[in-house]
Amino acid sequence: MADLAITNAIILTADALGTRLEGGTMLVENGRIAAIGTNAEFGDAAENATSVIDARGMLVMPGLINTHCHIASTLFRGLVEDLPLEPWLQRIWKAEAAILDPKTTHLGSLLGLAEMALGGVTTVMDMFWHPHDTVRAAREVGMRISTGGIVFDAPGVTGHTVERRFEDADRFFQDFKDAADVIPAIMPHGAYTVAPDNLKRARALADRHGGLFCTHAAETRFEVDDITSRYGRSVIRHLDHLGLLDERAVLAHCVHLDSEEIEILARTGAKPSHNPVSNLKLASGIAPVPEMLEAGITVSLGTDGAVSGNDLDLWLAMRLAAMLHKGVRGDARLVSTQQALAMATLAGAETLGVSDRIGSLEVGKEADFIMIDLERAHAVPLFDPLTHAVFSTNKSDVRHVFVGGKQIVRDRELTGIVLSEVIAEIRELAPRIQASIA
Ligand SMILES: [Zn+2]
């Protein structure tokens, strides 16, 4: 007998075939999708489930997957504005150094995770200080997370030596190697902040633990020029030359690539995370997403931190991914609606190496799904649920969210934490944050 039955739903499975169902039923057992089909196929099996949700007026689809974030940077949202990336980073890093410790990182993580969970994100890849504390926050909210130790040559927020950072990264891999809700990774910040030997060492550590290797890459023109003048190769060539790229490498941004670098990504299987909101706001440029997709590269979507995009809205990222490239190239066929949805779901799961478990609604996968309210002025008439999901849906339409069959958002309220308490604590901390950049 199923633990949960979702009945009478419009279901957008986001599987590779683009399967969708009207009058659909999905059965969940032991946290996994046990069956999915039309109401008529199930009858009693759905009615006899321990719990039944009548999803009339709702769209059911997989939880969104955000493959690039700095979650606890929600603490610094709106603090530094209207500067190019490099001087902007210097100011943000000053504030981070003054404010961040395990406690404030946990608090900022709760805030960011709350925003994402309420907005339909069920899995996120995070690069930030104190990753153990971010995992703790993700578990309280009930989300899946991919993260791990940061590698950064300078003392940074923690003031730790590089040696200590590698020890911490190693411990993170060990601590979470068997966790179902954590996808362990190592997070060297970027080729401009981490020396080649340390990048290689990070890669070796990821390999030893079978984990992911995630770094920023080719985000700005300045970065490309800097790396080229230092090492005689552009960023992607540099990473490839060091032997860092394979199918378990996640590269945030990939804005400034030439055609040979796109070939390198295709050949190695490295996976770019497209962050259109951040790239636009920081004037970093526009990633060659149509060319990457054309080359068969798996492109997923990220919000980047709330300091660079001001919110953690993957719907906006998806919509921009679908529209931006059409607009700037003058070609409405670029990045199809189906491709945009895949970038926010299945491609995200592939990027994190877990597409056998999540990313689409298919029998045997874990029941990570969201229920979108269709009783909205912008949801009628509904000729095509795919188009609705990509171009008309926004965060506030998300009514219920499930991760592994467990409900983490019920009627737009978190079930794991009390958001008003988090907000009160953040407000109390805000004056200290403001003073940190004075
Ligand atoms: Zn970033």
- Residue 196: what pLDDT? 98
Q: Quick one: tokens of 209?
A: 């633990």
How many whole angstroms separate alpha carbon 351 and alpha carbon 271? 6
> End-to-end CA distance of the chain, in Å?
61
Does 340 score more than 80 pLDDT? yes
Model confidence band, residue 93 (pLDDT cutoffs 50, 70, 90): confident
Please give the model's pTM, rounded to 2 decimal places: 0.98
Contacts of 150 (CB under 8 A, 6+ apart): 127, 128, 129, 131, 156, 165, 169, 187, 188, 189
Those residues with Cβ within 8 angstroms of residue 327's Cβ, 6 or more apart along the chain or in another chain? none
Instruction: Report the separation in Å between the CA atom of 196 and the middle of ligand 1, taken as the mean of its atom positions.
Output: 19
Backbone angles phi, psi at 332, to 5 degrees: -70, -10
The CA 150 to ligand 1 mean position distance, Å, reads 12
- Check whether 237 has a pLDDT greater than 80: yes
State CA 297 to chain mean position distance: 17
Determine the length of the chain: 438
Residue 162 has pLDDT above 80, yes or no: yes
CA of 69 to the centre of ligand 1 (A): 6
- 359 pLDDT tier (thresholds 50, 70, 90): very high
Residue 33 in this model has a pLDDT that exceeds 80? yes
Cis peptide before 385 (omega within 30 of 0): no
pLDDT at residue 394 in the model: 96
Mean pLDDT score across all residues of the chain: 96
**What pLDDT, on the 0 to 100 scale, is given for residue 97?**
92
How many whole angstroms from 304 Cα to the centroid of ligand 1? 5
The Cα diameter of the chain in Å comes to 68
How far away, in angstroms, is 54 Cα from ligand 1 center?
A: 39
For residue 14, the CA-to-ligand 1 centroid distance in Å is: 26
Please compute, for residue 419, the number of CA atoms within 13 A of its CA located in the half-sphere on the CB side: 15
pLDDT of residue 399: 98
What pLDDT, on a 0 to 100 scale, did the predictor assign at position 112? 98
Beta bridge partners of 11: 21, 60
384 three-state secondary structure: coil
pLDDT band at 438; cut points 50, 70, 90: confident
pLDDT value of residue 437: 87
Residue 44 has pLDDT above 90, yes or no: no
Give distance in angstroms: CA of 21 to centre of ligand 1.
36
CA-closest candidate to residue 146, choices 113, 124, 128 = 124
Per-residue confidence (pLDDT) for residue 90, from 0 to 100? 87
- Ligand 1 centroid to Cα of residue 338, in Å, is 26
pLDDT on residue 308: 85
From ligand 1's centre to the CA of 4, what distance in Å? Answer: 37
- pLDDT tens digits, one per residue of 58-89: 999 999 999 999 999 999 999 988 888 788 88
Q: How far is the CA of 305 from the centre of ligand 1 (A)?
A: 6
Locate 205 and state its tokens.
Answer: 């550590």
**How many angstroms separate the alpha carbon of residue 276 from the centre of ligand 1?**
12
Give the distance (Å) from ligand 1 centre to CA of residue 296: 24
Which H or E run contains 273?
strand 271-274
CA of 25 to the centre of ligand 1 (A): 38
Q: At which residue do the structure tokens 């400034």 appear?
A: 256
Contact 295, 262 (CB under 8 A): yes
Query: Ligand 1 centre from 303 Cα, in Å?
Result: 9
Segment 143-172 shows an average pLDDT of 94
Compute, in angstroms, the gap from residue 216 CA to the centroid of ligand 1. Answer: 6
**Average pLDDT estimate for 103-118:** 98
Give yes or no for residue 43 having a pLDDT over 80. Answer: no
